[in-house]
């Protein structure tokens, strides 16, 4: 008897759901309202035109927070190519969405080397912004971009061969090795 009631109840529920059966698929538009944005790209991470077979991960700044950007590339970028891309800044399309760089196209990075699972960034000049938050965002861009590779698990900064303390997301100084977790307060 319980089984019949359960079957009857499930049939009634299915019949009452209001979705008619269709033989051919059709596209469905999201309803208007506060959830319409869920079906479109997230504004903090604009979609790029996929042209390559691999993904290059970069971190840029949007409204004072760091956001992850995925670009399609044909070959896995080297650490030098990632640094160059960060210093060049967002593409015009990315800038149109509000993305910026805290590195400002400067040549703050003199060299990058990878030893084991750590990247060492030799600084040419100090990162100078309009305040401590800009500096932290600049270092965060470098650290988060490099550690997103998967084979780099920490980043240290040096000047003239000596370790340099750089601001973390909470404002404290660290000589590293730094990871994205050190900048969690800055991630959007």
In tens, the pLDDT along 151-162 reads 999 999 999 999
User: E-strand spans in 4-108?
Assistant: 54-62, 65-73
pLDDT tens, residue by residue, 45-101: 444 445 678 889 999 999 999 999 999 999 999 999 999 899 889 999 999 999 998
Give the per-residue pLDDT at 105. Answer: 56
Residue 141 has pLDDT above 60, yes or no: yes
Give the per-residue pLDDT at 47. Answer: 43
The mean per-residue pLDDT over the stretch 122-149 comes to 80
Least confident of 46-55, 113-122, 138-147: 46-55
Give the per-residue pLDDT at 34. Answer: 36
**How is the chain split into domains, by residue range?**
42-186
Residue 36 has pLDDT above 60, yes or no: no
Q: At what angle do helices 132-147 and 79-88 cross, to 10 degrees?
A: 140
User: E-strand spans in the chain?
Assistant: 54-62, 65-73, 109-115, 118-123, 154-159, 162-163, 166-167, 173-174
| pLDDT band at 108; cut points 50, 70, 90 | confident
pTM greater than 0.85: no
Give the per-residue pLDDT at 54. Answer: 87
Residue 122 has pLDDT above 60, yes or no: yes
How many angstroms separate the Cα of 177 from the Cα of each of 69, 86, 143, 185, 186?
Answer: 23, 20, 9, 17, 18
Please state, as a whole number, how many other Cβ atoms lie within 10 Å of the Cβ of residue 104: 14
39 or 120, which is more confident?
A: 120
């Amino acid at each position: 008897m319980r089984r019949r009631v359960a079957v009857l109840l499930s049939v009634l529920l299915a019949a009452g759901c209001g979705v008619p059966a269709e033989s051919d698929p059709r596209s469905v538009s999201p309803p208007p309202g506060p959830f319409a944005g869920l079906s479109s790209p997230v504004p903090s991470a604009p979609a790029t035109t996929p042209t390559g077979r691999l993904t290059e991960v970069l971190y840029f700044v949007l409204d004072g927070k760091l956001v992850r950007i995925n670009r399609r590339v044909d070959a896995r970028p080297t650490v030098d190519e990632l640094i160059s891309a960060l210093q060049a800044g967002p593409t015009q399309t990315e800038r149109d969405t509000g993305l910026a760089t805290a590195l400002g196209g400067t040549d703050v990075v003199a060299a990058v080397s990878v030893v084991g699972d750590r990247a060492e960034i030799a600084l040419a000049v100090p990162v100078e912004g309009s305040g401590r938050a800009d500096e932290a965002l600049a270092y965060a861009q470098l650290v988060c971009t490099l550690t997103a590779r998967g084979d780099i698990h920490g980043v240290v900064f040096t000047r003239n061969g000596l370790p340099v303390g750089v601001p973390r997301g909470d404002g404290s100084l660290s000589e590293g090795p730094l990871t994205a977790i050190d900048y969690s307060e800055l991630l959007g």
